[in-house]
Amino acid sequence: MTKKKFSKWTYSGIAAIIFMSVIVCGIYAFGQIGEENKYTLKASVTNDCTGTPWFVGSQQGFFEKEGLDYIDVGQTIATQRSYALALGQIDVLDADPLTLVNLLKSGVKVKAVAQSGISPEDGNKNKEYLYWDVRRDSDLTSFESIKNSNRTIKIGIGALGCSSDLQTNALLRKYGIPVSKVEYIVIPEQNQQQALREGIIDIAVLQTAYHGCARLRLNARSLASSSDALGEAGGMTLLICREDFIETHPETVEKFIKGYKESERWCNDNRKEAGNITAERLGLCEGGAVSHYYSDKGDINETQLQIWLDEIEMQGLITPKEYSVSDLYTDQFKNSW
């Protein structure tokens, strides 16, 4: 399966269900006004490490401090989060720039309102966003060594059409490795450690918390990290909202950004504790998980965003100059952090 084929399916899939949005939004709307006529933000506090700012923000009182009312609509699997945002089932999404572009290509009017994840400025490999992990006894000595393997290397990714496969494709190109040398196996991140242990996959593409547990439990080692794939842009994620939601509820968006960024700053200052909070919520290993690394401020780094656009274009997912950086975000909330 190629990225391009999947991308077309993704766009048509989202477009095919957009027509349901009027009905779905109507169903959800009646429950969205809280006490004192406040809007109640709809969020999917996911059972993976992207939920860390929500876990911490709720426990430390950062959302309450900003006067934000929110409701957790329940677990949404990674492949369905874009649909949930498009249909109005959730109001906010923390995701990579490819997810934002996929939504735009499907006709969903969305904007990034702040930057969330970022690659570590000090180059600390322990603060990376993604890791390509193998068992300690793997015959792969580096990512580049895939090229000389006499077998097809099976790479576990949480979903297609997101950061894990886009960045893997970037690494393949960087090291001159034919796509035919690898096979993508879609496995939820929480199950990849077991798949790696059992030899179902050769490489697990893991976010920070799961990577920490793989190192602790499997003594796993890393062949590459996200900065190897996309340089300073490897850790970039964005807070994304629909344009109609931004227009209708700007005060709620501002409260959300303030509380969320305060939570992320706390995570940066207390990565081990934030990791333990996440591990407890997700049932991960005790003492191995650490949190993602986040941008202290919410200013969207245009240089990093352009790197993503260039990579998305290079992989044939958009046409040259189809989107500019300014198409992807708004600075309306630049004073919210």
Helices (H) and strands (E) in the chain, counts: 14, 10
Chain region(s) in the chain for CATH 3.40.190.10: 3-118+236-327, 125-231
| pLDDT tens, the chain, 337 aa long | 444 344 444 444 444 444 344 334 443 443 444 434 689 999 998 777 788 999 999 999 999 999 999 999 987 777 788 999 999 999 999 999 999 999 999 999 999 999 999 999 998 998 999 999 999 999 999 999 999 999 999 999 998 888 999 999 999 999 999 999 999 999 998 899 999 999 999 999 999 889 988 998 899 999 999 999 999 999 999 999 999 999 999 999 999 999 999 999 999 999 989 988 988 888 888 777 788 999 999 999 999 999 999 999 999 999 999 999 999 999 999 989 8
Stated pTM of the model? 0.88
Residue 3 has φ and ψ, to the nearest 5°, of: -60, -40
81 closest CA partner among 191, 237, 193: 237
Query: CA-CA distance, 184 to 180, in Å (whole number)?
Result: 10
Thinking of the domain 125-231, which architecture would CATH place it in?
Answer: 3-Layer(aba) Sandwich (3.40)
Per CATH, the number for 3-118+236-327 is: 3.40.190.10
Residue with tokens 């950062």: 62
One-letter identity of residue 235: G
Among 267, 274, 271, 326, smallest CA distance to 300 is for 326
CA–CA separation, 295 and 286 (whole Å): 26
Phi, psi of 71 (to 5 degrees): -125, 135
CB 112 within 8 A of CB 333: no
Distance CA 253, CA 247 (A): 10
| C-alpha separations of 39 from 157, 233, 262 in Å | 36, 34, 21
47: which residues sit within 8 A by CB, 6+ positions away?
75, 190, 281, 282
CB 47 within 8 A of CB 278: no
Residues 6+ apart with CB under 8 A from 325: 302, 305, 306, 309
